[in-house]
Structure 1
Amino acid sequence: MNKIILVIEDQPEIRKLICMTMDYDGFEVHEADNGDTGLKMIKALRPGVVLLDVMMPGQLDGFQVCQHVRADAEIAATPIVMLTARGQQTDLEEGRRAGCDDYLTKPFSPLQLIETVERLASSATRRR
């Protein structure tokens, strides 16, 4: 299982909470505070799972980052979990259209986050 996790979240407090939650069992956690940097880090790190905020400043929001990943054959299989306060059905559908593997609405439980990451990281290992 690829234990590299990339957290792409613009709010430092939320990013810290996510990183603290995932800092266990040998996971290697990396951070980006915007979509542009996050996309570059996905290409460089090849993480086992990307935890991606939807609403971020800069050129790329979370949906756009997800679309770019799915369009790039080298990184298209990277599991992506959207993390967002936008929990309307239309938002969930937009996340699916962008290509995310899962969608967690803030606030989410740390246990739910851990279970989602472990499931996706394990399934990604079998797909690659």
Structure 2
Amino acid sequence: MANYHILLADDEAALRFLLTETLADEGYEITEAEDGQGALDYLQEKRFDLIILDYMMPERTGVEVCEWLRSHGNPNRDTPVILLTAKALEKDRERAKEAGVTQYIVKPFSPLQLLDTVEDLIGKSGS
């Protein structure tokens, strides 16, 4: 399998660790950011095959990062985005969709559920 690069931004270290382990076991290369600003810094420097953002993060939320991503020239403008969130309300989903989020995963979720979604999106982008 080609080495796909995934940016994972979440301020919860334990969850980040779990997801990184799960994805790395499948051969994905993970870059971790612990807040929205860190994610933005990476997104301007390097191209990723997939971006996983937590909704609630310090500095900038996942939705704000996604809005920036879709509206500014950067190497990841069209990269699929998975938003992880504890907010399951319809208005939050709408907001995420407007921001350009590709897929929405509500916490709590299993790492395997995330893996399925990752494989779907990376498989579809066919890069």
Give, in whole Å, the separation in 2 of the partners of 1:43 and 1:108: 29
CA offsets per residue over residues 64-92 of structure 1, 9 Å max, x none?
10001101243211110000111111111
Give, in whole Å, the separation in 2 of the partners of 1:80 and 1:99: 8
Provide the TM-score with structure 2 as the length reference: 0.91
Q: Structure 2: give runs of 5+ residues left out of the alignment.
A: none
Q: How many residues are paired up? A: 125
1:5·1:30 contact (CA, 8 Å) conserved in 2? yes
CA offsets per residue over residues 81-104 of structure 1, 9 Å max, x none?
000111111111111011000000
Give, in whole Å, the separation in 1 of the partners of 2:90 and 2:42: 30
Provide the TM-score with structure 1 as the length reference: 0.90
Please list every run of at least 4 consecutive aligned residues from structure 1 whose deviation after the TM superposition is greater than 3 angstroms. none
Q: Could you say which structure has the greater relative contact order, defined with CA pairs below 8 angstroms and 6 or more residues apart?
A: 1
Give, in whole Å, the separation in 2 of the partners of 1:47 and 1:125: 13
- Percentage of pairs with the same residue: 36
Match of 1:86 in 2: 87
SS in 1 for 2:120: helix
Q: Structure 1: give runs of 5+ residues left out of the alignment.
A: none
SS in 2 for 1:23: helix
Q: What is the correspondence of 1:106-125 to structure 2 with a 5 Å cutoff?
A: 106-125=107-126
Superposed CA RMSD in Å reads 1.4
Match of 1:65 in 2: 65
